[in-house]
Chain A
Amino acid sequence: MKILAIAGSNAEHSSNMALLHFMQRHFAKDVEIKVRDVKGIPMFCEDADFPASVTELSKQIKAADALIFSTPEEQNSVPSSLKSVLEWLSYHCDALQGKPVGIISASTQPQGGVRAQNRLRTILTSNGLDCLIFNGAEYALGEADHAFDSQGNLKSPGSVNALDAYLASFQTWAQAQK
């Protein structure tokens, strides 16, 4: 299975990117995970031409069997950087249609960005996106600024176990959607 994992951040250093890079290495034997963020994608505007960067993203999405969004939390909601990308994907674009999608998050807050997950889940139910949303497990990484060691590995065995359980469950579900 090929998974495209998208961090919803446009920041230089993102704990969501750190989480996805850890997943890419940690699950390398079982699954191919391609990791990217949303840096450089222009703000959605309905009057603007469809950007080449979103065309490229659409191709990556279509080439993947399933998607995972790892969202930061800004103001108890999804960051504008991720919302803008979803607006592009809902406008004259069918890349997400019928695609199995998982939602995870990382945050410096102890709650791990679960409120951004809630809002993202609501956004993903919109008609313009029309994807399939995984609800069978949850994963949120709290206090993410202290969660990784110097090699970029998750320090807490509990966090790793929870991530293992999440991905196993997600993969089983995503396979069944084919």
Chain B
Amino acid sequence: MRKLLAVVGTNAKFSYNRLLAKFVAKHYQQQADIEVVEVKDLPPYVRDNSANEAVQIWREKVKQADGLIICTPEYDRAIPAALKSALEWLGLFSGANVMAGKPVMILGVSLGMMGSSNAQEDLREILLSPDLAATVLPGNEVLISYANRNFNQNTGELTSPKFIKQLDLAFAHFLDYIETGWRK
């Protein structure tokens, strides 16, 4: 069974993207071993600073994983700085270089109608930069809008049949992509 990370792309206490990461880990537990990971406890990336223990653990988890599923909110038409900082710790320039060739699937939830589309575009560009050089699943966009009516407010689970169907298809494609599209 493939080992995947579901990354919560924000440091906010409450986030629908955290609920999505948890949903993905549970919903696909028969198909992959998925661990939900946070970026909120990482220090801000500073070029001159060496990696502390939290950063070393984050790098090691990413290095060992067969793929990443990143759930990003949108802040000011881009990914949150907290997620960007976490990615900067993984890059070639930081000395880690643990993302080269790594398969990544991009997901995102928003409160409004846009479904984090600008943030997903930003994230795709960042992941494809020479510093990270990840292998990003093309197409398969899952842009979950109107979070508070598509998640159950009590259980925190994604309930929209439309979005679950999209997610099922994208996840199946991602597993297939890991097997066939991963070029080190």
Contacts and interface: CB of A to CB of B under 8 A. Distances in A.
Main secondary structure of the interface of B (DSSP, over half): loop
Interface in A39-96: 42-47, 74-81, 83-84, 86-87, 90
B122 A119 contact: yes
A126 B119 CA distance: 12
A11 interface: yes
Contact of A47 (B12, B46, B77, B128): B12
Given A86-B76, A87-B75, A129-B76, A75 B126 contact: yes
A84 B80 CA distance: 8
Contact of A77 (B11, B76, B80, B129): B129
Contact of A75 (B13, B46, B82, B88): B88
A177 interface: no
A75 B129 contact: yes
A119 B87 CA distance: 16
A80 B77 contact: no
B133 to A, nearest CB: 10
Nearest to A118: B125
A119 B76 contact: no
Contacts, number: 100
Contact of A74 (B77, B88, B128): B88
Contacts of B81: 43-44, 80-81, 83-84, 86-87
Interface in A1-50: 10-12, 42-47
A142 interface: no
B76 A43 contact: no
B157 interface: no
B78 A81 contact: no
Given A43-B81, A44-B82, A122-B77, A81 B44 contact: yes
- Interface range, B side: 20 to 34
B85 interface: yes
Contacts of B46: 10-11, 81
Interface string A84-115: 10110010000000000000000000000000
A46 B78 contact: no
A123 interface: yes
Contacts of B125: 76-77, 119
A44 B12 CA distance: 9
A46 B84 contact: no
Contact of B12 (A45, A74, A125, A128): A45
A80 B76 contact: no
A123 B76 contact: yes
B115 interface: no
A10 B44 contact: yes
A129 B40 CA distance: 24
B177 interface: no
Nearest to A47: B13
A134 to B, nearest CB: 18
A156 to B, nearest CB: 25
B132 to A, nearest CB: 6
Contact of A43 (B13, B85, B132): B85
Interface string B150-176: 000000000000000000000000000
Pick the 9 closest A-B CB pairs, nearest first.
A84-B81, A80-B85, A80-B84, A83-B81, A126-B76, A76-B129, A75-B129, A11-B47, A80-B81
10 contacts: A42-B44, A43-B82, A44-B82, A75-B131, A77-B129, A78-B84, A81-B85, A87-B76, A125-B77, A129-B76
